[in-house]
Structure 1
Amino acid sequence: MSSASPTSAAPSPSTSTATVPSWDVRRPPAAPGRVFLVTGGNAGIGYFVAEQLSATGATVVLGSRDPARAELAMASIRARVPGARLRAVRMDLADLSSLPTAVESLTRAVERLDAVVHNAGVARDERTRAETGDGHELMFGTNHLGHFALTRWLMPLLSAAPTARVVTVGSFAAKSERLDLGDLQSRQDYRPGTAYGRSKLAQMYFGMELDRRLRAAGSTVASVVVHPGGALDSLTPSRPPLHVRTTGAALRAAPAALMVQGKEAGAWSAVRAVLDPDVRGGGLWGPRVFGLRGEPRPERVWKHLADASVAARLWEASRELTGTDPVAR
């Protein structure tokens, strides 16, 4: 496979620049021998991250709650990427006690992880608050706490790679949200849209703080935060039986394509964060056009997301809620 080599170093994660290293989203660099884990790799953006990474020759592991759906996803990828190297591991981020066992099964299959893409997530429209089996609000508990704890158990595999990356997939919806550190579980004020946006913002704070703590610990692992912009099912190419886009849906969504994109394109930022050697830890990457669509580029870290004091307080709260620390000394 041909590779596209970046021509210049990525800018500082805290700044924005018009000069972005060259990158061909359709022809990412080859990565034979490397191993990548994608949580929620059986559907949505996670599926397209897995499909695109598999085209590089790497081994891609799909983390999924549902083994049957993981098998369907792997069959779909193999139909489009002949010779794709794929594995699946059963992984339920809403059940924190199950994560050590899931990672143990992964450790029996691979010797290291070159990257993990923290993509899996729950989005709910129901007005009634729901909880995980551990008693955490479902979206916060799955999207944030699940990945926080998972990173702890994956760290030995990540540390075994020369320069591994943790890529956290946030959301553009988080840009307009602010964390309520006194009500992280939305017990006092539950609104599904707000709870979702805050759960994704918590993930993004985690990704930023993780990189700071990894640097302080002298780790070779880096942490990068990305978001997919506006990614709609109606603009997403079909991958039957996982996703089928009808002609009517495509026509109705055509005007929206001026501002947003499908989930195949929504995967580009995460794929670049995994593969581009010039991407640096502590950075934020998103689509080029207003942060909503287009090829991935480095963004100025959002002002509220750059607040290290909030990130540190969230880290301590998450450590207490999960009983784990991803960068335990």
Structure 2
Amino acid sequence: MTGWNASDIPDQSGRTAVVTGANSGIGYVTARELARRGAQVVLACRSEERGTRALEQLRSEVPSAEVEFRRLDLGDLSSVRDFAASYDSDDGGRSDGLDLLVNNAGVMALPYRQTADGFETQFGVNHLGHFVLTGLLLPRLLRTPGARIVTVSSGFHALSNIDINDLNSERNYRRWIAYGRSKTANLLFTHELARRLAANGSDVVAAAAHPGYAETNLQGAAPKMEGRKIAERVMWLGNRVVAQSAAAGALPSLYAATAPGVRPDSFTGPRVLGWQGATGKSWRAKWTLNDAAGERLWAASERLTGEPFSPSGV
């Protein structure tokens, strides 16, 4: 994988993809490069204004792109259900299947907030929203030979295992620990999904990736939300001095989404200390490979959201 870059993406003509959080950062680059290689891409974003602006920018950069914007708020499960229902009822000329779902959107180290459904925001957006979205779109993925589900985690998953008895951090909220737990949840979800797909004889590949330290809007969101100007400036400086570009940060996601031979439950990221550099196999904490923990998280996620995976799913 050394030296793999966007020019190595195989031809995506005839393939369809949904990329969450595609209005900026690594999500935008992921959507753009998939479209550049011929995929039909849905930009699934919370903000209609930012999503429409990203759509226009992408079309200006890739005039031949077949792309569309659809609103998706992962912090509101009714929005997730509406997105999936609209995708099924109006496929915009797409085939009955879905080749690729990139669960990219996320929030990081926010002050304590709750989603529209009452979940702690980082766990609700980063994990539960994508859990429900994947479940609702899974029948399409299962009908598509060679389909993939790529969930974007983070090296910060190493900050903490999940607490199955306090998934919403109600007892003791620490923003970075909560972020680490949500990213652990991403990896446990991928692990359990891959296990269930294999048990059902499906060739759908569930894999995970992370961008390392990439220059995106993610780092400055919380300081800006709280009006912490110094912290916002520090994050800005870190992006300028230390971070790799969003284009480089998107490569692990693009590799997991398109490269031949990607293994189920693999975790791809930058190879230099997990922060930057060439794309390769990434270290992950042992707790993200625990079958029992994956089963417990899956069951809890179904119970909390009221959305068991479809009987035709896994």
Alpha-carbon shift at residue 22 of structure 1 (Å): 6.8
Aligned length: 294
- Show the counterpart of 2:268: 285
Letter in 2 for 1:61: V
- Show the counterpart of 1:118: 103
- Show the counterpart of 2:227: none
Counterpart contact for 2:139–2:310, Cα < 8 Å: no
Alpha-carbon shift at residue 124 of structure 1 (Å): 4.2
Q: Does 1:140 align with 2:123?
A: yes
**Structure 1, 306-315 or 138-147: larger mean CA deviation:** 306-315
2:244 to 250, 257, 261: 261
3-state DSSP class of the match of 1:232? coil
CA distance in 2, matches of 1:37, 1:114: 9
- Show the counterpart of 2:71: 90
Q: What does 1:1-329 align with in structure 2 at a 5 Å threshold?
A: 20=1, 23-107=4-88, 108-109=90-91, 110=94, 111-126=96-111, 129-233=112-216, 256-257=241-242, 260-326=243-309, 328=311
3-state DSSP class of the match of 1:220? coil
Q: Say which structure is richer in helix.
A: 2
TM-score by length of 2: 0.87
TM-score by length of 1: 0.83
**Over aligned residues, Cα RMSD in angstroms?**
2.4
3-state DSSP class of the match of 2:182? helix
CA distance in 2, matches of 1:146, 1:187: 19
CA distance in 1, matches of 2:82, 2:28: 23
Judging changes above 3 Å, is the alpha-carbon distance between structure 1 residues 233 and 63 closer, same or farther for their aligned structure 2 residues? Answer: closer
Judging changes above 3 Å, is the alpha-carbon distance between structure 1 residues 32 and 74 closer, same or farther for their aligned structure 2 residues? Answer: same
Counterpart contact for 1:213–1:327, Cα < 8 Å: no
Alpha-carbon shift at residue 326 of structure 1 (Å): 3.2
Alpha-carbon shift at residue 90 of structure 1 (Å): 1.2
Alpha-carbon displacement from aligned partner over 1:103-162 (angstroms, at most 9, x marks no partner): 122222232210100011122432xx2111211111111110111111111012112211
Structure 1: which 5+ residue stretches go unaligned?
A: 1-19, 237-247
Alpha-carbon displacement from aligned partner over 1:265-316 (angstroms, at most 9, x marks no partner): 1111011111112111111111121211122112354322122221111111
Structure 2: which 5+ residue stretches go unaligned?
A: 220-232
- 4+ long deviations beyond 6 Å: none
Judging changes above 3 Å, is the alpha-carbon distance between structure 1 residues 178 and 77 closer, same or farther for their aligned structure 2 residues? Answer: same
Judging changes above 3 Å, is the alpha-carbon distance between structure 1 residues 292 and 53 closer, same or farther for their aligned structure 2 residues? Answer: same
CA distance in 2, matches of 1:220, 1:89: 28
